[in-house]
Amino acid sequence: MTWSPFSYIVTNLARFIRPDEVTFSGVNSTPPMLACLLAKRAYDFDFVYINVAGGVQPTPSKIPISSSDPVLSEGSTAIFANEDFYDLCTRGGMDLCFLGAAQVDGLGRTNVSAIGDWHNPKVRLPGGGGGAVMLPTARRAVTWRTEHSKRTMVEKLDFVTASGGMAGVVTPIAVFVKRDGRLALQSWHPEASLDEVVARTGFKFDATGAAPTPLPTAREIEALRSLDPSGQFERDANVALR
């Protein structure tokens, strides 16, 4: 089979979700939004899904283009709004938090602020949103990149927006996890290789025990298909393996 890089990212983000944990997806975060909804459909365990639209265990009637769309609080029995989920995180109550990144370094720190010098940016990026506060205070934080290259997976960040270290990073070709305070390769896309991941990564990493990523299960495939029946999210994401 071919495993599309889009499905690879969403499925592997979902695999970071654990039973009974409080798990959060935020703004500008379509893949984690889909991952949380996929996990609800594909896995037998329950977890507490909260999101930036204030939803607590929501049952949205449609899957929105915007991952902060208020439809994501539909079916919710509470509105747990922005101040609340940040405070939950800083007091240690957020088990898993999905956060965006433009650049990631070997320590799992992120830059979401600027390419080039912050004061004279080549590209002004969106900014980290929750990152600087949530990455160091969430029990685990996980990010994704739709491009895996030496300009996104870097030896040195142009700016440290958020520190604290990602517990996981998913790209179209690899899954990294935190080991001894650094990102280590857990697995690679079955159509890629360890050599390819090394060649396309700007930082050095431990690959002890790494192996091809287990293929998606029938339930994971079916869950993602049910969330994206027309393939619109996949087309919009426009992720390439290479």
What is the pattern of x (binds other proteins, CB under 8 A) and - over residues 46-85? ------xxx----------xxxxxxx-x-----x-xxx--
136 binds other proteins (CB under 8 A): yes
Piece of 34-42, 114-122, 145-153, 177-185 that binds other proteins (CB under 8 A): 114-122
For residue 87, count other CB atoms closer than 10 A to its CB.
Answer: 11
Q: Site for other proteins (CB under 8 A): which residue of 3, 57, 139, 160?
A: 160
113 binds other proteins (CB under 8 A): yes
Q: Which two tokens stand for residue 148?
A: 């895996």
Residue 184's alpha-carbon distances to 101, 134, 170, 187, 242, in angstroms, are: 18, 21, 12, 9, 21
CB 148 within 8 A of CB 171: yes
CB 206 within 8 A of CB 153: no
129 binds other proteins (CB under 8 A): yes
The amino acid occupying position 123 is V
- Binding to other proteins (CB under 8 A) within 184-223 occurs at none
167 binds other proteins (CB under 8 A): no
Q: How far is the CB of 123 from other proteins (least distance, A)?
A: 7
146 binds other proteins (CB under 8 A): no
Q: Which two tokens stand for residue 24?
A: 């959060």
Residue 48 Rama label (left phi>0; alpha psi -120 to 50; beta): beta
Binding residues vs other proteins (CB under 8 A) = 27-28, 52-54, 65-71, 73, 79, 81-83, 86-87, 89-91, 109, 112-113, 118, 121-137, 159-164, 236
